Amino acid sequence: MFENWVIHALSVLALIFIFVVGAIAFLAVVLFILDSNQRHDAVRRNYPVIGRFRDLFIKLGEFFRQYFFALDREEMPFNRAEREWVYRAASGRGNTIPFGSTKILTQPGTSLFVNTPFPIQEEDREPSPPILFGPYCATPYHAPSFFNISGMSYGALSKPAIRALSMGAAKAGVWLNTGEGGLSPMHLEGGCDIVFQIGTAKYGVRNEAGLLDDDKLKALSENPHVRMFEVKLSQGAKPGKGGILPAAKVTREIADIRGIPKGEASISPNRHPEIYDVKTLLDFIERVRAITGKPTGFKCVLGSYGWLEELCQAIQARGIESAPDFITLDSGDGGTGAAPMPLMDNVGLLIRESLPLLIDILTRYGLKSRIRVIAAGKLITPSGVAWALAVGADTVQSARGFMFSLGCIQSMKCHKNTCPTGVATHNKRLQRGLAPRQKAETVAHYARNIIHDVETIAHSCGVPHPRRLSRQHVRIVQDPQHSIAMSDMTRPAE
C-alpha cells in the first residue's frame, strides 16, 4: 500500500516537473522569437533571452550595492552613515557610536569645529533666541527654531507623509514649507507654522492664465498658520527649469488644490513671467508683502552672482524696507522628486561655496541684519547645520532629512509613483505602510535631536547657543596635515 502511494506521488511530481520544464521551454522559445525580431535593443537581438538578464542585473544592482557592497561612506546622494544617523535620531535612540569615527577627516574641504578647553557647562547653556522675519511687515514672524522643514509639495509627497510632517513640525516647534504645490488640508492638520511657497506656476494662488491672483493670495494669507511667503526662483536640483509632477501623481484632489487638469503632467514654467530682473523681483516681493502683510522673500540656487550686487544696490536706492525679508539659498546638489539629469548633475553652485559668497555680499552692503538667510541643500546632520550657522545663516531647513525621518530608504523611485515606503506615492496600498501619527513622532524626534546635537557642538566651541557660532569656530582641511580657519578663507570685501 505504501509503495503504491510513493509510486503515485513520484508520478505526480514527474508530471509537474515535465509541465514546468515544458512551460519554461515554451516561454524561452517565445522570448527567443520576440527578442530575435525586435529592433530597439541590440543586446537582446544578438543574444535572445540571455540578453534580458542584463536589464535584470542593472535593476538589482542598486539594491545589492546599497545593502551588500557599498561602504558606509560611499553611497550617493546620501551615504549609509548619514542615513543611519537620521534613522537613530528619528527613532529617539540617540547618537552614541562605538570605537571611532568612520568619516575621513583628512579629506580636503572637511569642516572641523574648533573646541575650547573651557566648554559651556549645563547651567550656562542658553536657548537659541527666536529670530525676527519681516520687521517692516504688518504681521512679522518670530521663528522659534534654527532648523525647519524645507519645501515638499503635496503631490510629490503622499497625503500621509504631509500629515505626518505637519503634526511632527507642530510637536517640535519648527515650520513646514509647503513647496510649490499649494496649501492642502494636510499641511494645516497639525497646526504648525507654515511657509507658503509661490512657485513659477503659482499653484494655489493662480488665475486661469497662470498668473498671480491677488484675491486668492489675500484669502490664503488670512489663515493664521501661514506665517511667511517664499517666491521660488529656482531650486538646487534643476536651476532654470520649473517643477515636474508626473501625470500619474496628478489626482483629482491634487489637481483641485493646484488649479490644473487631472491626470496631466504638471510642468511649471522655468521662471515667473512677471520677474525678469532685480527691479521686477523687488516689485513682485513688495506686491506679495503688501497683499498679505507678512514676511516675503525668495528662494534660489546661485550660479552667476553679479545680480546680487545689483539687487543690493537697488535696495539701497529704494530704501531698506524694500528688501526681501529673507533669501532661501539652495545648493546645486539639492534634491527633488523629478529633474533632468544634466541640471541635477552639472548646474548651480554648491552650498559650501555659495553660502559664504551670499553672506559676504549682504554684509558688504550692510544688509545682513535686514535680510535673513535660510540655508538648504543636503544639510541633514548636526555638523552640516552647525557649519551653515557658523558661516552666517540665520536658519537651516531640510527636505530629504525629514523624508528619511518618515522612513524613506533612498530607493530612488520618487518619480515613478512606486515609493516602497509610502512617502512619495499615491498608491493606496503603498501609502498604508506610513502611519501618520506614529511618523509624526519620528519627525519631531529628528528635529529635536538635530537641535540638541548642534547645541552640543556650540557648547564644545565655547558659545552658549548655536546662533553664536561664527567662522572663527570652523577650520577647513586643506590636506592631511593642514587646515585653515574659515574666517581667514572667506571675508567680506572692503
Convert the pLDDT of each residue in 172-212 to its tens digit: 999 999 998 889 999 999 999 999 999 988 998 988 888 99
CA angle, residues 412, 417, 421, in degrees to nearest 5: 65
379 or 245: which leads in pLDDT: 379
Place of cell 494636510: 186
* pLDDT at 168 (0 to 100): 95
For 73-101, the pLDDT digits (tens) are 555 566 666 777 777 777 777 666 655 66
Find out whether 322 and 334 touch, Cβ atoms under 8 Å: no
* pLDDT at 62 (0 to 100): 60
Q: Which pLDDT band, with edges at 50, 70 and 90, does 105 fall under?
A: confident
* Alpha-carbon gap, residue 244 to 238, rounded angstroms: 10
266 pLDDT more than 50: yes
* pLDDT at 239 (0 to 100): 62
* pLDDT at 336 (0 to 100): 59
Cis-peptide, bond into residue 246, ω within 30° of zero? no
Which of 7-11, 75-79, 273-277 shows the lowest mean pLDDT across its residues? 75-79
* pLDDT at 56 (0 to 100): 65
493 pLDDT more than 50: no
Residues 6+ apart with CB under 8 A from 22: none
* Coil, strand or helix at 164: helix
Which of 16-30, 196-210, 373-387 shows the lowest mean pLDDT across its residues? 16-30
For 121-132, the pLDDT digits (tens) are 888 888 899 999
For 324-360, the pLDDT digits (tens) are 999 999 987 665 555 565 655 566 788 999 999 999 9
Q: What share of the chain has pLDDT > 90, as a percent? A: 43
Q: Which pLDDT band, with edges at 50, 70 and 90, does 385 fall under?
A: very high
* pLDDT at 420 (0 to 100): 77
Of 11-25, 73-87, 409-423, 447-461, highest mean pLDDT: 447-461
Find out whether 118 and 217 touch, Cβ atoms under 8 Å: no
* Coil, strand or helix at 147: strand
Of 76-90, 235-249, 301-315, highest mean pLDDT: 301-315
Q: Which pLDDT band, with edges at 50, 70 and 90, does 373 fall under?
A: very high
* Alpha-carbon gap, residue 106 to 478, rounded angstroms: 8
CA distances from 339 to 143, 156, 223, 442 (A): 31, 12, 32, 28
257 or 79: which leads in pLDDT: 257
201 or 229: which leads in pLDDT: 229
3-state helix, strand, coil in the chain (%, to 5): 45, 15, 45
CA distances from 460 to 346, 388, 469, 483 (A): 37, 17, 11, 19
454 pLDDT more than 60: yes
* Alpha-carbon gap, residue 296 to 289, rounded angstroms: 6
Place of cell 533571452: 49
Indicate the pTM of the whole model. 0.83
For 407-441, the pLDDT digits (tens) are 877 767 676 777 777 787 877 887 777 888 998 99
* Alpha-carbon gap, residue 302 to 299, rounded angstroms: 10
Average pLDDT of the chain, as a whole number: 84
* Coil, strand or helix at 317: helix
Q: Which pLDDT band, with edges at 50, 70 and 90, does 494 fall under?
A: very low
* pLDDT at 67 (0 to 100): 53
* pLDDT at 237 (0 to 100): 57
Which of 103-107, 223-227, 275-279, 401-405 shows the lowest mean pLDDT across its residues? 103-107
* pLDDT at 90 (0 to 100): 76
* pLDDT at 492 (0 to 100): 43
* pLDDT at 174 (0 to 100): 97
Nearest residue to 446 via CA among 406, 419, 393? 406
* pLDDT at 268 (0 to 100): 79
* pLDDT at 76 (0 to 100): 57
* pLDDT at 118 (0 to 100): 86
